[in-house]
Structure 1
Amino acid sequence: MSTPPHTDPQTAASVRFVRSHLKMRHLILLVELGRHASIVTAAKAARLTQPAASRLISDLEHVLGVQLFERRARGVEPTWSGKMLIRRAGVALAEMDAAHLELSLLLSGMGGKVAIGSVLTPAADILARAIKLFKSRTVNANVVVDFSTSKSMVERLLDGQLDLVLGRILDTASVPLLNFEPITDEVHHIIVRPGHPLAGRSGLQLEELAQQSWIVPPTGSILRDRLTALFLSEGLNPPLETVETLSTSLAVSLLATTDMVVALPRELVQQQLDSGQLVALPFDLGLSMDVYGVITRQGHVLSPSAEAMLMALRETVAATPSLRRRRPAV
């Protein structure tokens, strides 16, 4: 086979591999091996015999010229190349699942599905208004929203489980695989109930805050890491008494009935602040939070529903003057 004009040999080799050698059963087996680490179990899950599964793996290793799995007494363990191929195989199958779902929804008269992951702050206003705008333009569209940390959501985005993420890119190794449209940063305040012992106090010290009972996000979130770093940088132990949650409603409920404290953007509890149910302490945390934004996969073609949601998000951000003022120059 001759190399197509204006195509480099490496690209041509990739095209030959995908179109001539790679089969759907390869993808299914790779994903099952990633789940089970046993050729016997993976072959059964992929509805193959063990010899057939072994031949498929050997065929892939021969064509690619790399070892994909290390054979061990209790099963197999993917090499770095194997892990990469397993992840890509999972994305490919997720895309086919999404295509089948789109077709099924269209045939049933529904308008498609879009899956969004979001950190909490954008959901307080930006995401809610964008969904309202999206719904006004689409018929019978299904929107699924998941809340978690940026790291876990970006991983799910790369795996094809999410269409869009409102969050941050924390892993620099993922940057070449992603598109990022910055929105704004987050200013965090210490929020408590009006009758809290520290409410109304001036001259608060970080040492006093370290002795409080805190509501904190999960370990691995950017806020949790930077709060910990803030205390340690001042020679203080991080708060020992904590409740770990991403639920704003639970945090508000706990603040109303206890002397706990939490660091939150005002946007998440603006209604409670305006009504006097909660107050912000006069203390500047001085935390530098990374800009969050809309994250999509590089080179990935969004479904019509996901594209419509992306447009709604862009228009919502553009129509919000406060976000434009706070957005850092890039």
Structure 2
Amino acid sequence: MTPSASPDALEISRNLRHLRVFLEVADAGSLTLAAERAHVSQPAVTQAINKLERQAGGDLFRRTRQGFFLTERGEVLALRVRRALARLDPALVEVSPRLRLTASAAQLHALIGVCEAENFTLAARKLGLAQPTVHRAVTQLEQEAARALFERTSFGIVPTRPCQALAQAARLAFSELDQADADLAEHDGREGGRVVVGALPLSRSVILPRALAEFRRRRPVQPITVHDGLYEDLLAGLRRGEIDFILGALRQPAPIADVRQEPLFEDRLAVLARRDHPLAGRRGLTMADLAGEGWVVTRRGVPSRDQFDAAFASRGLPAPERLLETGSILLMREILSASDDLGCISGVQAEAEVSKGLLARLDVAEDWPGRPIGLTLRRDWQPTRAQDELMALIRKHASEAAPR
């Protein structure tokens, strides 16, 4: 049966106190012991569990004479809540041990917003809240912590280092709770959550469309978002938990320790031109033959551009003077089709353009080094089933698209 998307999708409360109580019951197997450990009344524990069960769509515990035991649904939620709090709590304690007991999700969302905007008014606008509400939430955190979380300057407010670490931990904790919603929906045969892909140029024109088309046939109502943009922006979104994974050219070495890279295949560059270009019929062209041509290439700092520049520099040739920089294959195609300019792009992308009769691949005697293409993921990320299925399809279509 095809999973369905409910217009009244369930969502677990971000009430951190309730989630902590839930784990206390799971660990203690008793409402009484959980109440003692959480320093709340037993009726408060019962109320928190009942509310979470309504939000989760069913029982989280089996009630027996021997105690409370997690159901399968409860295990699903407990796994994500433990991961969320394992992210959040060390950062809270680093600012002040008291915050682990007092900080609320609303306060942390306000903190994240102000960290990003470095301005209370802009943060409030982004969060859809009144400015005094955001200011009060941050002030309450500072009062509980007995320390400033922002430095006030003439240019705005700047988060301290512990504040930045807390905001990052809170982002990833909330991302885990988003994953919990998706896992619980999957448990009930519904579609939940959202798959968010960061797509670099090669993946957008070849691998990802094929994988998404097949994924859509399997899961027709699963929400999917594809973000394209500069690598640095996608990486920042990945590390904040806003993007699930990035597909495209890998960086050597990996850009930072909290991400990991999974190579799928090696790609090599190719030179393209319009089909009736004067050079289209020539054999054994060299980079020296092409040095004086106009070029459409990617921007500096991108691996393919580094290889393009090195192809001239390593032979003592002057760098081409007529360059147009773009990461858009569509723009490159249209410029090449309307001019004598040449394009230097991924060999896999080139094959897609040539096979459709849109451009011609020049016969250039250049031994381009291989570029690893693959997935970039957060190091300790645990995907939902839908995210895992899409990555499996990407691996499949990447294998099929790899140069032979």
Contact 1:126 1:313 (C-alpha < 8 Å) held by counterparts: yes
Cα separation, 2, equivalents of 1:249 and 1:204: 25
Query: SS of the residue aligned with 2:307?
Result: helix
**Deviations for 1:129-165, whole angstroms, at most 9, x for unmatched residues?**
3223322322412332233344332222222222222
Q: Of 56, 69, 77, which residue of structure 1 is paired with 2:141?
A: 56
| Residue aligning to 2:261 | 180
User: Is the Cα contact below 8 Å between 2:286 and 2:365 reproduced in 1?
Assistant: no
Number of the residue aligned with 1:155:
236
Q: 1:42–1:276: structure 2 CA closer, same or farther, 3 Å change rule?
A: closer
1:14 and 2:90 matched: yes
Q: 1:274 to 1:134 in 2, by over 3 A?
A: closer
State the distance in 2 between where 1:134 and 1:205 align: 42
Partner deviation per Cα, 1:180-208 (whole Å, 9 max, x = no partner) = 32101111111112332333334544344
Partner of 2:275: 194
Percent identity of equivalent pairs: 24
- CA contact under 8 A between 2:336 and 2:342: conserved in structure 1? yes
* 2: CA distance, partners of 1:286 / 1:209: 15
The alpha carbon displacement at 1:296 in A equals 2.3
Three-state SS of the structure 1 residue aligned to 2:133 is coil
Counterpart in the other structure of 1:137: 218
Q: What's the counterpart of residue 128 of structure 1?
A: 209
TM value normalised by structure 1:
0.75
| In 2: Cα distance, 1:154 partner to 1:12 partner | 21
Q: Distance in 1 between matches of 2:134 and 2:352?
A: 61
Residue aligned with 1:291, SS: strand
In the alignment, is residue 216 of structure 1 matched against residue 301 of structure 2? no
Per-residue Cα deviation, 1:283-310 (whole angstroms, up to 9, x for no partner)? 2444434312122222223233212212
Confirm or deny: 8 A CA contact 1:185 1:289 kept in the other structure. Answer: yes
- The residue aligned with 2:164 is 83
1:262 Cα deviation from its structure 2 partner: 0.7
Q: Which runs of 5+ in 1 are unaligned?
A: 3-9
Deviation at 1:254, TM superposition (A): 1.9
Q: How does 1:25-44 map to 2 (within 5 A)?
A: 25-38=106-119, 42=123
- On the 8 A contact 1:151/1:169 being kept in 2, the answer is no
Equivalent of 1:243 in 306, 324, 328: 324
RMSD over aligned Cα atoms: 3.9
- Given that 2:273 and 2:342 are in contact with CA atoms closer than 8 Å, whether structure 1 keeps it comes out as yes
Does structure 1 residue 226 correspond to structure 2 residue 311? Answer: no
SS in 2 for 1:28: helix
Residue identity matched to 1:14: P
Amino acid aligned to 2:243 = L
TM-score, structure 2 normalization? 0.63
Q: Does 1:273 align with 2:354?
A: yes
**Does the C-alpha gap of structure 1 residues 295 and 275 become closer, same or farther in structure 2, counting only changes over 3 Å?**
closer
The aligned counterpart of 1:6 is none
**Greater CA radius of gyration, 1 or 2?**
2
Distance 1:315 1:156 in 2: 25
Deviation (angstroms), 1:260: 0.8
Which amino acid in 2 is paired with 1:166? L
Distance 1:70 1:79 in 2: 7
- Contact 2:87–2:169, Cα closer than 8 Å, also in 1: no
Q: Report if aligned partners of 2:304, 2:345 keep a CA contact under 8 Å in 1.
A: no
Report SS of the residue matched to 2:364. Answer: coil
1:5 matched residue in structure 2: none
Q: Residue 46 of structure 1: CA displacement?
A: 6.0
From the superposition, tell whether residues 197 and 91 of structure 1 become closer, same or farther in structure 2 (CA, over 3 Å).
same
Kept after mapping to 1: 8 A contact 2:283/2:363: yes
The 8 Å contact of residues 192 and 260 in structure 1, kept in 2 or not, is answered as yes
Equivalent residue letter for 1:144: T
Inter-partner Cα distance in structure 2 for 1:117 and 1:12:
25
**Contact 1:112–1:305 at 8 Å: present in 2 too?**
no
CA distance in 2, matches of 1:171, 1:155: 17
CA contact (8 A) 2:199 2:227 kept: yes
Q: Contact conserved, 2:264 with 2:395, CA < 8 A, in 1?
A: no
The 2-side partners of 1:190 and 1:94 are apart by 42
Match of 2:386 in 1: 305
Is the 2:272–2:362 Cα contact (8 Å) retained in structure 1? yes
Asked if 2 retains the 8 angstrom alpha-carbon contact of 1:39 and 1:75, the reply is no
Which whole-Å CA distance do the structure 2 matches of 1:309 and 1:275 have between them?
26
Change (3 A) 1:13 1:86: closer
How many residues in Structure 1 have an aligned counterpart in Structure 2?
Answer: 311
Unaligned runs of 5+ in 2: 1-35, 38-85, 94-98
> Partner letter of residue 53 of structure 1?
V
In structure 2, the CA distance between the partners of 1:45 and 1:240, relative to structure 1 (3 Å rule), is farther
